[in-house]
Amino acid sequence: MILAPSILAADFLHLGDACLIVNDSEADWFHLDVMDGRFVPNISYGMSVIKQLKKAGKKFFDVHLMIEEPEKYTEAFLDAGADGLTVHLEACKNLHRNIQQIKSLGMKAGVAINPHSPIMLLQDIINDLDLVNLMSVNPGFGAQSFIPYSLQKIKDLKNMITASRSSALIEVDGGVSLLNARSILEAGADVLVAGNAVFGSADPNDTIRQFKLLGQ
């Protein structure tokens, strides 16, 4: 199991400290949410912040673009330090072209899918993907509750990946906690994004350790 703490839930006055927590923990990736106020009703941070975080962060930078027209900024996010770039199915007019653009620049390519979107929309592109970010909350804000029917979507997506012989990882993003992580993993998830559960806890390192134990 890959654990990706979400920097969106960290204390923005002490982002360097948040990077050190992830570096020194058993967590595997940094998860970085970029919001533009258009695709989602919130604005987070962009390339300049990620570039600074990259100076401190020593693990894989999993950048999740919740933005319109992501193709305009793909190279800029590579330059900022993205190792993997995930775009939203709902934001891309030509999804295949977007994925090929990301791959051509040497990054891992992912597609995020909102709770209301059926996973069958990924059928024709699943073999081109390194990752599917299955949103288990409506994107735009942290600290939301996990949508229960996401568990069935994880199972259905896992079946699609297996049937297609795709190597795509299933990432689950939104409302992930120590209380529901085991059921999410048992449904077929490979990557857990945990924000408030990690950075809102009294001891983030211990919380990360507990998440990792659930994946053994």
Q: Note every long-range contact of 155-163, with CB atoms under 8 Å and residues 24 or more positions apart, other chains counting.
A: 155/187, 155/188, 156/119, 157/119, 157/122, 157/132, 157/188, 158/187, 158/188, 160/119, 160/120, 160/122, 160/123, 160/126, 161/126, 161/132
173 is catalytic: yes
CA 63/CA 54 separation, integer angstroms: 12
User: Which of left, alpha, beta for 49 (phi over 0: left; psi -120 to 50: alpha)?
Assistant: alpha
33 is catalytic: yes
Give the active site residue among 28, 33, 36, 190.
33
Tokens of 51: 């570039």
Give the active site residue among 36, 130, 173, 190.
173
Catalytic positions are 33, 173
